[in-house]
């Protein structure tokens, strides 16, 4: 079994109104000095070892987990040691 962690972020240059809203909310609460806030998604899941090829994970990201038109993704995998 492999643990996969996927990070999905908006591409540079794509407007991020959610990030802007969070930034303003922080400022309103007195947390100043925040800039360039970007909000993305983080997903983690277990994957059967025989499915955990680079190719397979990239297909999952391209087809469902990220929108490749406006989003970038990166992922990490780590072996799960079954106890």
| Contact footprint for a second copy (CB under 8 A) | 7-9, 19, 22-23, 25-26, 29, 31-48, 50-51, 56, 59-60, 63-65
**In this complex, which beta carbon is closest to a second copy, that of residue 38 or of residue 77?**
38
The least CB distance from residue 25 to a second copy, in Å, is: 6
The least CB distance from residue 52 to a second copy, in Å, is: 8
**Collapsed DSSP state (helix, strand, coil) of residue 50:** helix
**In this complex, which beta carbon is closest to a second copy, that of residue 40 or of residue 77?**
40
- Using an 8 Å Cβ cutoff, are 19 and 39 in contact? yes
**In this complex, which beta carbon is closest to a second copy, that of residue 36 or of residue 69?**
36
* Dist CA 4 CA 44 (whole Å): 6
* Dist CA 22 CA 39 (whole Å): 9
* Dist CA 9 CA 71 (whole Å): 5
């Amino acid at each position: 079994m492999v643990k996969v962690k996927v990070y999905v972020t908006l591409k540079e240059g794509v407007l991020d109104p959610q990030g802007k809203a969070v930034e303003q909310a922080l400022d309103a609460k007195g947390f100043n000095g925040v800039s360039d806030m970007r909000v993305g998604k983080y997903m983690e899941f277990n994957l059967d070892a025989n499915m955990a090829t680079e190719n397979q994970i990239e297909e999952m990201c391209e087809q469902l987990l990220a929108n490749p038109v406006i989003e970038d993704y990166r992922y990490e995998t780590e072996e799960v040691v079954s106890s």
